[in-house]
A and B are shown apart, each in its own frame.
Chain A
Amino acid sequence: MARAWKRLLVAVGLFVIVGVFIWRFPPVRFISRTHAAAQAAARAFDAGRFVTEFWTNQLLPACSRAADVRVVVELLRTNPPEAEKKYARKFGLGQKWYFFVCGLAKVVSVDRGEILLCVDEDGKPEVKVECGPVFGNTVRDGCGLLDVSKFPNSQDFNMISLEINRRIEAEVLPRLSSNMPGAVVKFAGCTEIDPSEPGLLPLKVIPVWVEP
């Protein structure tokens, strides 16, 4: 009889130990759909927030370090390989040249959704800014501040372009197009050139900063 009690006690003891273990370290956890969705949303990449921080903390401070647009334009006129060597960036295996430029320019014309700027004294436009929707990755890849290898999911990296372009459309282009022909503006922006195409000028710049 005592032996039976002993066995029962051992069994109950084991049962309690296993029960406590499973209670403390459950093999399966049940999570409600709402909670799982909230967790996933918290983990998701917020491109809007990323770009807000990137814009203020990295992009705008970098404008002052961008290449002088006048120098780049002159080199593209006279010695394009030198312009590539000194100032261009490339993205991956792409052959296109990206430049991050800044400088002073005189507004030549503002019409038909296009602004023409002159960066030297000849009065001819060397820079063109399109005022319509901004597409593509020119700013993201041209500013040289973002590295695709830091982003595990390239969809996040691409969403950054979308947010940057929207911000340019909302904040930068209206400011530039409010200037009248003859006005002098300070600007910084990025441009993308296909060196295999004939005629490298005028530069098609997407501005990220304009003053006034």
Chain B
Amino acid sequence: MKMFRMSKIGWSWFRPVCLSTLTGAMLLSQINCKKSDTGADSRRKAPDQKPKIAVVISTLNNPWFVVLAETAKMRAEELGYAAVIFDSQNDTAKEAAHFENIIAAGYKAILFNPTDANSSVANVRKAKNAGIPVFCIDREINATDAAVSQILSDNYTGAMLIGQYFVKTVGTNAKYAELLGLVGDNNTWNRSRGFHSVVDRYPGLKMVAQQSADFDRAKALQVMEAILQAHPDLDAVFCGNDAMAMGAYQALVAAGKDKQVKVFGFDGAEDVIRLISEGKIMATGMQFPRTMARMAAEFAHEYMQGRRDFSQKVPVPVELVTQENVHKFVPYGRKDELSQSASKPNAAN
């Protein structure tokens, strides 16, 4: 008898049937809840019945995403909408539940920072089928026919710039570690591959450890402690975001190795910009969350005014921040970015 290892299961018609049943049950339970509920949904209704925009963010447990969310909300409100932030807590199930609620509550648009490039596609399609336009911010989904537009950091090029600076400052003979972000997120791999597109060309640069810390500061602290125990002679660490860079730096300080190991981050977060200016962290890739969030809100507004000719993907450059040029930057952007106000279309009717 031939034995199969059950690694992959094709569900064919069985899954749609199950899903339909479950969705039906969920909708029924929602309707029942609404009849007696005066809670979250009714509280979210703006008193003056302004059209509503949802800002769905992968996690608010990271200051960078808080800036992204707050800026999108603020810009949507400036344009005349009632905006509500939903925190997915890096959980695709929570994200799916938010989309169900948003669709049921009659939101007019979704400004969306996805949790997972593949899993989040279904949510965007669901909103699209319900006639709600979705605008992705910072993170992409692996589909070009679901969201109206995707405003994305050019992570690969940013990490490539960090890779070049890494070679310049660490040298071509060194041992280094890499802390990866969420493995389901394309940004994780675009940053990693951009960095490796440079450092892998130098055989003397040895990567002794590569581990995920989920873009999380506390996890990065733990992972870095373990790496340091196994590789006490480490020369540098490249972290896929600044929260992990801070966690790694904290572990290095605790181990008394903060002068020995050079830390490189990615994002342009407040703590890291301060530590770069103090000469404690080497470099980061500055993303522009305010620019991306404002643009997403303005795209949503323009969509509701009738515009349809959006580029599916709008890459936003990432700039290298080092101890030499950190004076040009503030947390989450350039100094001159704040003074350059984005074009402000008229408010919603």
Q: A residues near B, CB below 8 A?
A: 25-33, 36, 91-96, 133, 135-137, 148-155, 158-159, 161-162
B277 at the interface (CB under 8 A from A): no
Distance between Cα atoms of A91 and B157 in the complex (Å): 12
Spot the interface stretch: B86-94, B96-104, B307-315.
B307-315
- Pairwise interchain contact A155-B189, C-beta atoms closer than 8 A: yes
- Pairwise interchain contact B9-A31, C-beta atoms closer than 8 A: yes
- Pairwise interchain contact B9-A30, C-beta atoms closer than 8 A: yes
User: B190 contacts which chain A residues (CB < 8 A)?
Assistant: 154-155, 158
User: A25 contacts which chain B residues (CB < 8 A)?
Assistant: 12-13
Distance of A149 from chain B, by nearest CB (Å)? 4
Contact of B316 among A30, A36, A92 (CB under 8 A): A92
User: A26 contacts which chain B residues (CB < 8 A)?
Assistant: 12
Q: Please, which residue of chain A has its CB at the minimum distance from the CB of B316? A: A93
Q: Please, which residue of chain A has its CB at the minimum distance from the CB of B149? A: A149
Contact of A29 among B9, B152, B312, B316 (CB under 8 A): B9
Knowing A153-B142, A153-B186, A162-B197 are in contact, say whether A31-B7 is a contact too (CB < 8 A).
yes
Interface string of B1-40 (1 = CB under 8 A from A): 0001111111111100000000000000000000000000
Q: B residues near A, CB below 8 A?
A: 4-14, 117, 140, 142-144, 152, 154-157, 160, 163-164, 186, 189-190, 193-194, 197-198, 201, 291, 295, 311-317
Knowing A25-B13, A152-B143 are in contact, say whether A158-B315 is a contact too (CB < 8 A).
no
- Pairwise interchain contact B14-A94, C-beta atoms closer than 8 A: no
Distance of A26 from chain B, by nearest CB (Å)? 7
- Pairwise interchain contact B154-A94, C-beta atoms closer than 8 A: yes
Besides A92-B315, A93-B291, A94-B315, 4 new A-B residue pairs in contact (Cβ under 8 A), listed by A number = A133-B201, A137-B157, A149-B313, A150-B144
Distance between Cα atoms of A27 and B13 in the complex (Å): 6
Knowing A152-B142, A158-B156, A158-B193 are in contact, say whether A30-B315 is a contact too (CB < 8 A).
no
Please, could you name 6 A-B residue pairs with CB atoms under 8 Å apart, sorted by A?
Answer: A93-B295, A93-B315, A94-B315, A135-B198, A151-B144, A154-B313
User: A36 contacts which chain B residues (CB < 8 A)?
Assistant: 7-8
Contact of A92 among B164, B194, B201, B317 (CB under 8 A): B317
User: B189 contacts which chain A residues (CB < 8 A)?
Assistant: 155
Tell me what chain B mostly uses at the interface: helix, strand, loop, or mixed. mixed
User: A158 contacts which chain B residues (CB < 8 A)?
Assistant: 156, 190, 193-194
Most chain A CB neighbours (cut-off 10 Å) among B7, B117, B152, B164 = B7
Q: Please, which residue of chain A has its CB at the minimum distance from the CB of B17? A: A27
- Pairwise interchain contact A33-B144, C-beta atoms closer than 8 A: no
Distance of B257 from chain A, by nearest CB (Å)? 30
Distance between Cα atoms of A155 and B295 in the complex (Å): 23
Distance between Cα atoms of A144 and B130 in the complex (Å): 36
Distance between Cα atoms of A153 and B116 in the complex (Å): 12
- Pairwise interchain contact A27-B143, C-beta atoms closer than 8 A: no
Q: Please, which residue of chain A has its CB at the minimum distance from the CB of B159? A: A158
User: B142 contacts which chain A residues (CB < 8 A)?
Assistant: 152-153
Most chain B CB neighbours (cut-off 10 Å) among A93, A161, A162 = A93
Distance of B151 from chain A, by nearest CB (Å)? 8
- Pairwise interchain contact A135-B152, C-beta atoms closer than 8 A: no
Contact of A32 among B4, B12, B193, B197 (CB under 8 A): B4
- Pairwise interchain contact A28-B8, C-beta atoms closer than 8 A: no
Distance between Cα atoms of A32 and B3 in the complex (Å): 9
Distance between Cα atoms of A43 and B219 in the complex (Å): 34
Distance of B272 from chain A, by nearest CB (Å)? 23
Distance of A157 from chain B, by nearest CB (Å)? 8
Distance of B313 from chain A, by nearest CB (Å)? 5
- Pairwise interchain contact A93-B4, C-beta atoms closer than 8 A: no
Knowing A152-B142, A162-B197 are in contact, say whether A31-B10 is a contact too (CB < 8 A).
yes
- Pairwise interchain contact B156-A33, C-beta atoms closer than 8 A: no
Q: Please, which residue of chain A has its CB at the minimum distance from the CB of B198? A: A135
Q: Please, which residue of chain A has its CB at the minimum distance from the CB of B11? A: A28
Distance between Cα atoms of A26 and B15 in the complex (Å): 11
- Pairwise interchain contact B10-A136, C-beta atoms closer than 8 A: no
Distance between Cα atoms of A26 and B314 in the complex (Å): 43
- Pairwise interchain contact A135-B154, C-beta atoms closer than 8 A: no
Distance between Cα atoms of A127 and B213 in the complex (Å): 44
- Pairwise interchain contact B144-A155, C-beta atoms closer than 8 A: no
Q: Please, which residue of chain B has its CB at the minimum distance from the CB of A158? A: B156
Q: Please, which residue of chain B has its CB at the minimum distance from the CB of A36? A: B8
